[in-house]
Structure 1
């Protein structure tokens, strides 16, 4: 089970509309071609469903924002290794947007006098507790951006999502000092794909999202969750897209977001 899953369980009341926003998006000032936008985002994961997700997005001509970490995959590689480089290059060519999720999927634990206490769920130190200086944390944010540019020839947006959505003023200040802005998700945008499928089946998650998602919301899903037995994607993804479109909503990347779009410049 990914470390983020425990946070997702804590957020389960969002399914009943009770969860506070981690970073609720303001109502969007819509671009001319999309007057009721929602912003679908995907964090990396085991990548087992990534090709299916890409097929759905391409079929419906939906553009999304991906947040990249170098996480373990079902093929015993990692999500940013050479095996996946063509997949990322294809997504970049399709016009999706991209941000950092830290290289080793570092989950914030605490602020200390020595720096940020973090627990990676990927990489050689997975499961350990590390203390990083602000400069070292910036290096962790930059590594996915550097790898993304090497794979695709494109620059990543200077946006990041902290793994599990866990931040602190010190962490946000460290990221801001090296040019990165944090992006969370809206209360209704917690799509529940990290929750146990026996308690939160796909049909329930779909119905909840179709009822509660509203224009301006930032939506959160993943490219594969180890702990969920009945995968959320692509089973929920396609009816979610068509259902929201039937309500008059449309999809945009964070490049078009009225707040985060201001940061749409190459990461430093």
Structure 2
């Protein structure tokens, strides 16, 4: 995804649909019921892989969520704030409902290392706010667009309570729009890997059934990034794999 330049867009005054307290209560109950089972996953011993998806939500995200749900697979979505604000399907709510993890991927996908302190703060903080308003979740993970980070980004992520999550397997799905190629690169991952993909590309979502089937056949468990480490990653610190 190319950076979006120009004046930073104004944050919407409120989510497009008000948060339903009953919906939130049901979601919290479901998360509490699911946690004992999820917390028993020990990725020091089990074969675990973290599927991560950047730049969305997009036109193909709903289909991806359906695929993950059918496989009981958990993933981590690094979402772009302005994409969330424009998403009429409220996919981030469904991500949370299904037990996926959300991460901050900036407001408009700009290279954070080129921004002023104020611009950097805007990119992270406003995305935090729009996600919290939409889902009730305050994110604890972020991924810098293009993987571009420096001391200033690290300092701001510490202030915002965000760990920097990079990757060790890059499917290059943004460049090679071929499902078979994307799947082949993904399934080369070893246990403990963080795999980079983008749910804005149709060909990436087309690759997901093969990726899920192959890893499942090999006895892998699909976990969120936090589950991969067994505890919340530390704010400001960079992570690439377990």
State the TM bucket, normalised to the shorter chain: 0.7 to 0.9
1:47-87 CA-partner distances (Å, limit 9, x unpaired): 1111110110111111111111135xxxxxx43336143x2
- Residue 175 of structure 2 corresponds to 195
State which of 47, 54, 60 in structure 1 corresponds to 2:65: 54
Kept in 1, the 8 Å contact 2:81–2:126? The answer is no
- Residue 192 of structure 2 corresponds to 216
Unaligned runs of 5+ in 2: 5-39, 236-242
TM-score (norm 1): 0.66
SS of equivalent residue, structure 1 residue 220: strand
CA-atom RMSD in angstroms: 2.5
How far did 1:260 drift? Answer: 6.4
Q: Please give the residue correspondences for 1:1-268 in structure 2 after superposition, counting only pairs within 5 Å.
A: 2-3=2-3, 31-32=41-42, 35-45=46-56, 47-71=58-82, 78-81=83-86, 83-85=88-90, 87-108=91-112, 116-117=113-114, 131-133=115-117, 135-156=118-139, 158-186=140-168, 189-197=169-177, 201-210=178-187, 212-225=188-201, 231-258=202-229, 261-263=232-234
How far did 1:155 drift? Answer: 2.5
Worse overlay, 32-41 or 96-105: 32-41
Kept in 2, the 8 Å contact 1:47–1:224? The answer is yes
SS of equivalent residue, structure 1 residue 232: helix
Give distance in 1, aligned partners of 2:145 and 2:191. 25
TM-score (norm 2): 0.73
Count of residues in correspondence between the two structures: 199
SS of equivalent residue, structure 1 residue 261: coil
Kept in 2, the 8 Å contact 1:64–1:97? The answer is yes
Kept in 1, the 8 Å contact 2:179–2:204? The answer is no
Unaligned runs of 5+ in 1: 5-29, 72-77, 109-115, 118-130, 226-230
SS of equivalent residue, structure 2 residue 78: strand
